[in-house]
A and B are shown apart, each in its own frame.
Chain A
Amino acid sequence: MSTEDKANEISAEAQDQEQAGPGQGAGGPITLFFILGLVGSLVLGWVIFPQLLYSHKEQPIQFNHVLHNQEVEDGCESCHFFREDGTYSGVPKLAQCIDCHEEVLGESEEEAKFVNQYVLKGREVPWLVYSRQPDCVFFSHVAHVKMGQMDCVTCHGDVGESESLKPYEANRISGYSRDIWGKNIAGLKFNSWDRMKMDDCSECHVRDNVNQGSVQTLRGGCFVCHK
């Protein structure tokens, strides 16, 4: 196409527009389509995307933290305890549950399911852990709970006061729980336990000026948690 041809085409388009008449212009449909695109994407991003991103899974057994908390003496640490070497036991293993649940206690269906399917068969319950961090993150419970004197609620919220376990929402891309990013898809947080992302760790570390560098290598920044 020569320069002359191009020039002719442009002038022809200008004529078309003039014919459409003033006022009506292309501005109307163009604005409409812009708004359609804008609204559509906003709906997609804020409403549909979060639903697509997470899958919903029920825990294998329903568990009542309140009920158990009443039965034990040592609060959270009765079951989520520190081992002698300072490592943290995390979610209890079957061996701990068996101390009380050797046979069915009470009349709950979940209890019967737990004893019959797991305790009697000696199978570990495949609990889905809401707070499981990616493997590239180093985190020491003892450093925070024992040395830093933090309580469980600061990061985990009122789990201890829950009567049932909420569905586990797994991120379909990364595989980790929704609780790491936070329930709020925008990443907004209102409580300290709403999110468990890197920024949330650094927030306290910077604010309280603690361990700005790796304990082992004394190197700063990333090496505190990414060993």
Chain B
Amino acid sequence: MKIDRRSFLSFVIGGAAGTALTPLPWKLTDDLAIWSQNWPWTPVPEKGETTYVKSTCTLCPGGCGINVRLVGDRVVKIEGIKGHPVNDGGVCTLGLSGPQLLYGPNRVQSPKKKVNGKWRNISWDDALSEIAGKLGDLRSKGQSHSLACICDSDRGTVPELLDRLLTVYGSPNFIRTPSIQDNYELALYLTQGVRAVPGFNVQDSDFILSFGSGLIEGWGSPVYMFRGKSALKEKGGRMDQIEPRLSKTAAKSDRWMAVKPGTEGALALGLANVIIKEGLFKRDFVENRAAGFSEYKKFVSDGFSIDAISKMTGLDAPVIIALAKDFAGARKPLAICGRGAGTSPGSLQDFLAVHFLNALVGSINRAGGILALPEPDYINWPEGEMDAAASRGMQQPRIDGAGSGKYKSTRYLLNRLPEVVNSAQDSPVQVLLVAGANPLYAMMDTEAVAKAFEKIPLVVSFSSYMDETSAAADLILPNHVFLERYEDVPFARGFPKPIIGLVQPVVEPLYNTRHTGDVIIELAQKMGGTVAEAFAWESYDACLEESLADKWDTLLEDGYWVDTEFSETAQTQEFETDSAKFEFSNSDINALPVYHSVRVPGDESFYPLLLVPYDTMRLASSYIGSPPFLVKALEDTVLKGNDMLVEVNPATAKNLGLSDRKYATLTTARGSAKVKIYLFDGIMPGVIAIPRGLGHTAYDKFLAGKGVNYHALSEPLEDAATGLDAAWGVRAKLTKA
């Protein structure tokens, strides 16, 4: 029998016919279909019991209440707590991404020490002994004031433990990271005589006039502001935005007025001039509850005539007059300021100008206005005993120059630190503790900051992540992330009522990390003497529970405690100035430098364009690096691949010969970067904008190397009145790549 081609073909045909009569093809098709729907990289939800833990988000100072959903032992989702006074069930994109910050690859998993430029894991005991040894040395040499600490807040148990450590050790150099909070607090202090927390009753207002504030882009407590804006719109209220760029807030407002950048404060004074001239101000407030009005009246009428303001801002005179009339005519108008998300302090003069505008319409300490909330008062630890070394150290002037001389009202001046360190022969800071901050990314002119950090012999980072500051530190003592620890959140930024949030552990710590509060207590106890005596707590959790005392049970159950007895009107008599009134002018205010619009740093002839940063809810604006969910959610007009887009007006682009989505080189006095052009009609000609929050050099592959860091291209500008960084942009040029 010959096996030829025909035999073979008939075998194959027989085989095919037979196969069709078996389940094989149908079963394989079905299995392959199921297989292709269940790729191994497709995330599969955990199976198990669903539970919820109430906690507070710490990813920004917004103080949102969160309900963390777990399946079994795994965190699967973060939701807002329904009925929570701040966010009422809402949560922002960063808050939603919280689980990625817990399980992501960028956690520092154990204490680390840098040896010859390489990280080595060390034990907690060794790490603390090393710091205690170094601090002991400095103290015995009378150099205790060369210990400094950078922290994101100065309220709440952890910041206050750090501050206490510095005090009993003998250093006045506790520094809070800067934000608009600094200027708002100063404005309240200078006009109302109170050291208070600013609150904004956005929900009850019927006209919000925003001087560049990103009300729906992270300003204040983001979710509360979203809700406030919605409430305002539902009630038929009005929101006007003054900003050189069509931000999301501007796009959602009723009227957007693009003034020349930097002249927002002048416009506020011009509006005040119209309101006073037309007699539209609230007489009851100005005459009965305010002082120094006549000097203020003279100041605005002399220097801020309609014509001058029109020329300065680029707005037509009738527009300014109409705006002033509408604002003063509203029932509960509220003016707010602080650009974007408010991460950069800005100029005190602008804040005062806007604050006075609120005072003119009586929107101080009333529903729908700006409120001076009492500082949280639950931390009443017995005063730590200071020995001779501590007293001597505390009498030294602050390294950053805050609180004395020309900046006597300012409390903290982190922006001045790099220059002080860089210009000294030996660094005046010998040991630097950094908690809840990433100055190497977030401070202007990052190169100068990095140089200063190199000069400091011992930099200790308490970050949970390998961020820029951790990468440049000598020791990392990783904190638990917020889903692994207890902590208090002493207020919600911009929220109009005193509120305390409790951060509760949701899962057991994943790695060999330790609560910064515990680390401070242990460090103090290792140092012995009066320093140890001031930290007699058994653990941080014990200290927290003791501090919150009668509020503890409420906090555990609800996740927050709100001062229900607080009312806006009860605050009305609480001006603590010499006159016991709201002061439009006094010796401190009069001593401030004459008002002028802040000019941005850089030489105009070399750098004809104005580069401004913008904030977006799709990028983290605090010290936390954006998790992958956020970066993925960015529009391709912000980030395309690793390329960042710079917003340019088509007219500007035409002049410079630049085309849409093509590469260009963005240069400032501090450096240059390759960017792509995004032609955007919503930005003023001559002004260009880039997002804040990109261009990380540290972190993981999901964030590092994407885009450009605005802070690396920019430089600080010391405000003559406060010493805070007043720069809102930087001069730049764009050339074809």
User: In the assembled complex, which residues on chain A have CB atoms less than 8 Å from the CB atom of B14?
Assistant: 33-41
From B2, B11, B12, B49, residue with most partner A Cβ within 10 Å:
B11
User: Is the beta-carbon distance between B37 and A136 smaller than 8 angstroms?
Assistant: yes
C-alpha spacing A83/B42, complex, angstroms: 28
Interface pair B8/A42, CB less than 8 Å apart: no
Which residues of chain B have C-beta atoms less than 8 A from A83's C-beta? 49
Q: Is A42 a contact partner of B7 (Cβ separation < 8 A)?
A: no
Is the CB of A221 closer than 8 A to any CB of chain B?
Answer: no
How far is it, in angstroms, between the C-alpha of A77 and the C-alpha of B32 when the chains are bound? 35
Taking the complex as formed, is B140 at the interface, i.e. its CB lies under 8 A from any CB of chain A? no
Interface residues in B1-47 by Cβ distance below 8 A to A read: 1-3, 6-8, 10-19, 21-24, 26-28, 30-32, 34-35, 37-38, 42, 44-45, 47
Query: Are the CB atoms of B28 and A173 closer together than 8 Å?
Result: yes
Q: Which of A3-11, A44-52, A207-215 contacts B (4 or more CB under 8 A)?
A: A44-52
Q: Which of these, B3, B11, B22, B44, contacts A37 with CB under 8 Å?
A: B11
Q: B18 contacts A135, CB within 8 Å?
A: no
Q: Quick one: given A40-B18, A41-B16, A45-B24, are A134 and B11 in contact (CB under 8 Å)?
A: no
In this assembly, does B93 line the interface, its C-beta being within 8 Å of a C-beta of chain A? no
CB proximity of A178 to chain B, nearest CB, Å: 11
Asked if residues A85 and B50 are in contact (CB atoms below 8 Å), the reply is yes
Interface residues of A in 124-150 (CB under 8 A from B): 134-136
Shortest CB-to-CB span from B11 to chain A, Å, is 4
Indicate whether A37 sits within 8 Å of B13 (C-beta atoms), given known contacts A45-B22, A90-B47, A187-B23.
yes
Residue of B nearest to A26 (CB): B6
List the A side residues contacting B13 at CB < 8 Å: 34, 37
Residue from the set B10, B17, B44 with the largest chain A CB neighbour count within 10 Å: B10
Q: Please give the number of chain B residues whose Cβ is less than 8 angstroms from any Cβ of chain A in the complex.
A: 37
Given contacts A41-B18, A49-B22, A87-B49, contact A33 B32 (CB under 8 A): no
For the complex, what is the distance from the CA of A83 to the CA of B72, rounded to whole Å? 13
| Bound: A33/B16 CA distance, A | 12
Q: A44 CA to B13 CA in the complex, in Å?
A: 15
The minimal Cβ–Cβ distance linking B380 to chain A, given in whole angstroms, is 41
Asked whether A165 is an interface residue with its Cβ less than 8 Å from the other chain, the reply is no
A29 near B: Cβ within 8 Å? yes
Cβ of A181 within 8 Å of any chain B Cβ, yes or no, is yes
> For window 74-119 of chain A, which residues contact chain B by CB distance below 8 Å?
83, 85, 87, 89-90, 93
A53 in contact (CB, < 8 A): yes
**Contact (Cβ within 8 A) A46 B38:** no
A122 partner residues in chain B, CB cutoff 8 A: none
Question: A175: CB under 8 A from chain B?
Answer: yes
Residues of chain A within 8 A of B16, CB atoms compared: 37, 41
A30 and B38 within 8 A (CB):
no
CB-based contact B24/A33 at 8 Å: no
Are A34 and B10 touching (Cβ within 8 A)? Answer: yes
A174 at the interface (CB under 8 A from B): yes
Contacting pair A40 B42 (CB below 8 A): no
Q: Chain A, 173-201, contact with B by CB distance < 8 Å: what is the 0/1 string?
A: 11110000100011100000000000000
CB atoms of B27 and A181 under 8 A apart: yes
**A202 close to chain B: CB less than 8 A:** no
A170 to chain B, nearest CB (A): 11
By the criterion CB–CB under 8 Å, are B44 and A135 in contact? yes
Contact at A135–B42, with CB atoms within 8 Å?
yes
With a cutoff of 8 Å between Cβ atoms, the chain A residues found around residue B11 in the complex are: 33-34, 36-37
Nearest-CB distance from B6 to chain A (Å)? 6
Given contacts A171-B31, A173-B35, A186-B23, contact A30 B18 (CB under 8 A): no
Residues B32 and A173 in contact, CB atoms below 8 Å apart: yes
Let me know if A41 and B37 touch, CB within 8 A: no
Residues of A within 8 A of B50 (CB): 85, 87
Name the contact of A135 in the complex, choosing from B27, B32, B38, B48 (C-beta under 8 A). B38
- Beta-carbon nearest neighbor of A180 in chain B: B34
Which residue of B is nearest A20, CB measured?
Answer: B2
Q: In the bound complex, what is the Cα–Cα distance between A186 and B26 (angstroms)?
A: 9
Shortest Cβ distance from residue B70 to the other chain A in the assembled complex, whole angstroms = 13
**Which chain B residue has the least Cβ–Cβ distance from A30?**
B10
Q: Are B35 and A174 in contact (CB under 8 A)?
A: yes
Chain B residues closer than 8 Å to A89, beta-carbon distance: 49
Query: How far is the CB of B555 from the nearest CB of chain A, in Å?
Result: 25
Contacts of A175 in B (CB 8 A): 35, 38
Which residues of chain A have C-beta atoms less than 8 A from B48's C-beta?
Answer: 93
**How many Å lie between the Cα of A6 and that of B332 in the bound state?**
99
- Beyond A83-B49, A173-B28, whether A29 also contacts B7 by CB under 8 A is yes
The answer to whether A2 has its CB under 8 Å from any CB of chain B is no
Per the bound structure, the CA–CA distance linking A90 and B37 in Å amounts to 23
Given contacts A42-B22, A174-B35, contact A135 B6 (CB under 8 A): no
A33-B27 contact given A38-B18, A174-B35, CB 8 Å threshold: no
Taking CB as reference atom, which chain B residue is nearest A133?
B34
Q: Which of A30, A45, A171 has most B Cβ within 10 Å? A: A45
- Shortest Cβ distance from B356 into chain A, in angstroms? 53
Which of B14, B35, B42, B44 is packed against the most chain A CB atoms within 10 Å? B14
> Bound state CA distance, A89 and B71, in angstroms?
12
Which of A32, A33, A42, A187 meets B18, CB within 8 Å?
Answer: A42
Which residues from chain A contact B2 at a C-beta distance below 8 Å? 29
Q: Report how far A181 CA is from B15 CA in the complex, Å.
A: 25
Cβ of A31 within 8 Å of any chain B Cβ, yes or no, is: yes
For the complex formed, measure the closest distance between the CB of B35 and the CB atoms of chain A, giving whole angstroms.
5
**Are A134 and B18 closer than 8 Å at their CB atoms?**
no
Q: Which residues of A contact B28 (CB under 8 A)?
A: 173
Known: A41-B18, A135-B42, A181-B27. A176 touches B49 (CB 8 A): no
Please measure, in the bound complex, the distance between the C-alpha atom of A34 and the C-alpha atom of B16, giving whole angstroms: 10
A39: chain B residues at CB < 8 Å are 14, 18
- Which residue of B7, B17, B35 is within 8 Å of A33 (Cβ)? B7
Q: Mark A59-83, 1 if CB is under 8 A from B, else 0.
A: 0000000000000000000000001
Question: Are A134 and B8 touching (Cβ within 8 A)?
Answer: no
Q: Please give the distance in Å from A146's CB to the nearest CB on chain B.
A: 18
Q: Residues of A contacting B31 with CB < 8 Å?
A: 53, 171, 173-174
Q: Report the bound CA distance from A29 to B27 in whole Å.
A: 32
CB-defined contacts of B18 to chain A, threshold 8 Å: 37-42, 44-45
B38 near A49 with CB under 8 A, answer: no
**Chain B: CB-nearest residue to A198:** B30
CA of A37 to CA of B9 in the docked complex: distance in angstroms? Answer: 10
* B27: A residues at CB distance < 8 A: 49, 53, 181, 185, 187
Is A176 in contact with B34, judged by CB distance below 8 angstroms? yes
Closest to B18 in A: A41
Q: In the complex, A30→B9 CA distance in Å?
A: 8
Contact B38 A136 (CB under 8 A): yes
How far apart are the CA atoms of A226 and B12 in the complex, in Å? 40
Check A46–B10 contact: CB distance below 8 A: no
Contacts of A46 in B (CB 8 A): 22-23
Near A by CB (< 8 A), chain B positions 30-79 give 30-32, 34-35, 37-38, 42, 44-45, 47-50
Q: What are the residues of chain A within 8 A of B47 when measuring CB–CB?
A: 90
Bound together, the chains give a CA A26 to CA B4 distance in angstroms of: 10
Contacts of A37 in B (CB 8 A): 10-18
CB neighbours (8 Å) of B44 from chain A are 135
Residue on A nearest B30 in the bound complex, by CB = A181
> A89 to B10, alpha carbons, bound, how many Å?
56
Closest to A28 in B: B1
Alpha-carbon distance between A36 and B13 when the two chains are bound, in angstroms: 10
| 6 A-B pairs closest in CB distance | A45-B22, A37-B14, A41-B18, A37-B15, A34-B14, A45-B24
With A44-B18, A175-B35 already in contact, 10 other A-B pairs whose C-beta atoms are closer than 8 Å = A29-B2, A34-B10, A34-B11, A36-B14, A38-B18, A41-B14, A41-B18, A44-B24, A45-B23, A173-B35
- Interface, chain A (partner B; CB < 8 A): 26, 29-42, 44-46, 49, 53, 83, 85, 87, 89-90, 93, 134-136, 171, 173-176, 181, 185-187
9 contacts between A and B (CB under 8 A): A30-B10, A39-B14, A42-B22, A45-B21, A83-B49, A90-B47, A135-B38, A135-B45, A185-B23
Residues of B within 8 A of A (CB): 1-3, 6-8, 10-19, 21-24, 26-28, 30-32, 34-35, 37-38, 42, 44-45, 47-50
